[in-house]
A and B are shown apart, each in its own frame.
Chain A
Amino acid sequence: MSNPVPVGIPRRKVAVRIDGAERSAAEGCTILDVCRDAGVEVPTICWDPTITPVNACRVCVVELEGSRTLVPACSRRVTEGMEIRTGGDRVRASRRMVLELLASSVDLSRAEADILRWLEEYGTDPERHGPDRARVTEPVRRHDELYVRDYDRCVLCYKCVDACGTEAQYTFAIAVAGRGFDARISTEYDVELPESACVYCGNCIGVCPTGALIFTREYDLRESGRFDPEAQAVTTTVCPYCGVGCNLELHTQDDEIFRVTSPQDHEVTSGHLCIKGRFGFEYAGGRRREQREGADPATEASPQA
């Protein structure tokens, strides 16, 4: 994390209790901040360090003394004297059900490792909701060489919408449409991306926790069964296109880039990029030219000819 510059009036400290232990926290912190400082794991899905919490997934709920219901740790700000319990049957029961309900309705097989671990740890059993249960069924939207939208995996965490909108890109190409179980991330009238406001910055892919938004190359690798973490590497570099100096992380398998990210704690990008940094890596893979249809390797030496 970048160090915050201290300006203005210093924040008052408030005393709270997390699972019985006294903690001191700066006023305005969330329960989640305090828990993480205390080394208490609170699962999150829709929370992201670069995005204002929407507290939609509800997997981070904790027990707050005096509150009739559980409260979302990600967005509830601490106040003096709060008594918070992050474990116990009541909290575990709701977390287990949230995870189980998600797993029963969408395909989480490509979700972040933490999510997969919590599914195990909390003892979820999606199958008990019956073989005929409603699921999210959407066609895979694979329309170009840049990215794929596979909404069967979407948990509606709102991160892509917010990254596309006011939290990063201010492009507003996607929003939630429909209602209830039929709510989906969508462009207007579900038009294809080139007809929408999308500028292909790929910041939605960067924040997607479940693989619903994915680089086309990575998607193809995974679908063909050739995706192999053992054969992968991450190379950190600086984007060559302009003078801003965004850090890039090039994820490669067999020397072929299949995904580009930027570190979330990078003070220039906060994890966000533009179309050039995100997708403009074609030139880095020399093999593309050799593979060009009809191209003869012998004439490649003098392309002017």
Chain B
Amino acid sequence: MESRPPVGAPTPAEVRVLDGAVGRRHDPVDSRVIRRGPDRRHLLLPSLHALQDGIGWISPEALAALCERLEVPRAEAFGVATFYALLRTEAGPRTVVHVCDDIACRVHPGYRDPAEHTGHHRGEQVGVHPSPCLGQCDRAPALFVQRAGDDAARWTATGSVADALAGEGAAEAPPRVVAAGPAWLTGRIGVVDPTSLEEYRAHGGYQALRVALAMGPEAVLREIADSGLRGRGGAAFPTGVKWRAVAASAQRDRYVVCNADESEPGTFKDRVLLEGDPFALVESMTIAGVTVGASQGYVYIRGEYAGAEERIIAAVEQARRHGLLGSDVAGSGLTFDIDVRRGAGAYICGEETALFNSLEGYRGEPRSKPPFPTEVGLFGRPTVVNNVETLHNVPVILGCGAAGFRAVGTAESPGTKLFSVAGDVSGPGVYEVPFGTPLGELLALAGAPVSPGAVLLGGAAGVFVPPGASDVPLTFEDVRAAELTLGSGSVTVFGDAADIGDIVERITEFFRDESCGQCVPCRVGTVRQNEAIVRLRSGSAQPGDADLLDDLDTVMSDASICGLGHTAAAAVGSARRLGLLDGAGARR
């Protein structure tokens, strides 16, 4: 351990926050604190959150005190604290409003540039920060408020900064959820009270867990594999293969992680699931846990999803109280419990290995693969990591059987898919459609203009859709054949009047801001790509800029460590191929 030069003492308020977050250092009753070793480092991010919420920033004194309690080097903890957008290491206003200026919000008629918003509210200075997509595209223009202090609170809002500040505790408008076909994933949303375990059970909840316990792990694994379920987070990996690998591991400690760090611009379907049907996630994770032999699960939810976090925490607590989590899950004698962990504003933490690092108390930098998470995952143990939507499919499959699941969708893409449709559409919301539904039908369902200026499929990491692609069936195989991607299942529509050059520039800025900085192709490449697009849009493009963008595309997609770098040039490339940037320089 490092030598620790003396620093000043933390304030009494900071000490109180730390006592609450990690226990008192010299409390003889609290046996947790005398244990040595690296096993408490995972409390670093929750503790930094506690300081941010309670004090408003992380002071050098508080950080040093925290590091002493957790036995984490100060420099490393500082590296972690400065990695996240929602944590501050300098004192500032106790209330900060994050104003979304990302692709879906900036085309909304009510959108105002964050720079135009006032920084004062009722005589108190308020920080106003531009923010990447807040996952509230159906409630555009979206904002997120962080208030620190004894009355700490976080909430989301729609409208202006003034609206947001006045809107604490106000109920958000219910999301628009439409199912064209079986409402397998969305059937309970808006129908049942998401805070009531009773209602969840009355609407079919926890039947799948009973089925799973009766069938036994082997049969569940077979059913999931036979269903052909593929991951909904973007990579479309067969879920059954993942589960089987972890279940077959020789290691005893295993984990189930739900990736609820939904941060792809234009995507909000996981938020709607978490807010509207949180018990389904708890049940799905429990099934995963008892099937692969894990006794601990984690939900890693993005820090901006304050409402969804509250729902999922409440659901976990209720399930625990009713014996559906804990040391005897539903009377089976099996142990499984869930811990909810909050992200702190970093798109990269949606990458599964970056998520593990973040959860373990390290910087959210992706790891090299192989080894894959099924082998070396969270805390170095075999780990099932699934997206929220993927997990929501599990009770469906156990309910109707693999054959019943395959009756909907296509052979390679069975089941239904959620799409987050937003932008210039009359009905922004979450659409559950059978795989194979043509893109045009989905657009019509959401009230998109007949001939939009552009449609972006899969968010910032996705691609612009060529005109005439409305017949493409939305399946993994068909979009691949059409050189498109489903990605996270977001469909962002831009009307005729939208400045697509501005959207493309915002996407390059997004990657520049969200690159973790670990590998050279992405750390510098995203910056150079952004600069080249800015040059193009301002009419000062250099003669070789087209080649330069091609070369950046090559190095980022071929030599980056993770998916962020691999896809950072995808949208730009598709926009260039479709001629969406032609004349961009002349526009200004």
List A residues at the B interface (Cβ < 8 Å). 55-59, 61, 69-70, 72, 75, 90, 93-94, 97-98, 101-102, 104-105, 128-130, 132-134, 155-156, 165, 170-183, 186-189, 191, 194-197, 199
Contacts and interface: CB of A to CB of B under 8 A. Distances in A.
A101 B528 CA distance: 8
B528 A188 contact: no
A61 B73 contact: no
B1 A156 contact: no
Given A105-B524, A188-B63, A181 B517 contact: yes
Nearest to A95: B559
A176 B75 CA distance: 8
A180 B527 CA distance: 9
10 contacts: A61-B558, A97-B559, A98-B555, A130-B531, A133-B527, A176-B79, A177-B78, A180-B523, A180-B527, A189-B78
Q: How many B residues touch the partner, as a band?
A: 35 or more
Nearest to B542: A130
Contacts of A194: 5
A171 B2 CA distance: 4
A110 B74 CA distance: 30
B218 interface: no
Contacts of A61: 558-559
A55 B403 CA distance: 44
Contact of A104 (B60, B524, B554, B557): B524
Given A101-B520, A175-B73, A181-B515, A186 B78 contact: yes
Contact of A178 (B82, B524, B531, B557): B82
B525 interface: yes
A83 to B, nearest CB: 17
Nearest to B348: A179
Interface in B6-46: none
A179 B2 contact: no
Contact of B527 (A134, A175, A191, A196): A134
B475 interface: no
A164 to B, nearest CB: 8
Nearest to A105: B524
Interface string B233-249: 00000000000000000
Given A56-B519, A180-B512, A199-B3, A128 B548 contact: yes
A38 to B, nearest CB: 22
Contacts of B5: 194-197
A69 B542 CA distance: 29
A101 B555 CA distance: 10
Nearest to A136: B524
Contacts of A97: 521, 525, 551-552, 554-555, 559
Interface string B337-375: 000000000100000000000000001000010000000
A179 B515 contact: yes
Contacts of A59: 520
Contacts of B60: 188-189, 191
Contact of B521 (A58, A170, A183, A186): A58
Contacts of B526: 180-181
B73 A197 contact: yes
A178 B517 contact: yes
A195 B18 CA distance: 23
B403 to A, nearest CB: 33
A129 B528 contact: yes
Given A183-B523, A197-B3, A177 B82 contact: yes
B125 interface: no
Contacts of B514: 180
B566 interface: yes
A58 B515 CA distance: 15
A174 B3 CA distance: 12
Contacts of B544: 128
A172 B80 CA distance: 14
Contact of B75 (A90, A178, A197, A199): A197
A18 B252 CA distance: 38
B74 A101 contact: no
Nearest to A59: B520
Contact of A58 (B531, B548, B559, B566): B559
A84 to B, nearest CB: 15
B368 A72 contact: yes
Contacts of B531: 129-130, 132-134
A70 B559 contact: yes
B118 interface: no
Given A188-B63, A188-B74, A98 B523 contact: no
A204 to B, nearest CB: 12
B253 interface: no
Contacts of B320: none
A299 to B, nearest CB: 40
B518 A56 contact: yes
B566 A155 contact: no
Contacts of A182: 517
B332 interface: no
B521 A94 contact: yes
Nearest to A195: B5
A98 B521 contact: yes
B168 interface: no
B513 interface: yes
Given A59-B520, A175-B79, A177-B79, 15 more contacts: A58-B520, A69-B560, A90-B558, A94-B554, A101-B524, A104-B528, A105-B527, A133-B531, A156-B518, A156-B523, A175-B76, A181-B515, A187-B78, A194-B5, A197-B5
B107 interface: no
A69 B73 contact: no
Interface in B527-586: 527-528, 531, 535, 542, 544, 548, 551-552, 554-555, 557-561, 566
B101 to A, nearest CB: 18
B336 to A, nearest CB: 33
A172 B517 contact: no
Contacts of B555: 93-94, 97-98, 101
A173 B2 contact: yes
Given A129-B548, A180-B515, A188 B77 contact: yes
Contacts of A133: 527-528, 531
Contacts of B519: 55-58
A179 B83 contact: yes
A144 to B, nearest CB: 15
A251 to B, nearest CB: 29
B524 A196 contact: no
Contacts of A128: 542, 544, 548
B451 interface: no
Nearest to A74: B368
Given A170-B1, A199-B3, A179 B82 contact: yes
A146 B312 CA distance: 54
Contacts of B134: none
Nearest to A197: B2
Contact of B73 (A130, A134, A172, A189): A172
B89 interface: yes
Contacts of A191: 60
Most buried by A among B78, B542, B554: B78
A93 to B, nearest CB: 5
B588 interface: no
A154 to B, nearest CB: 12
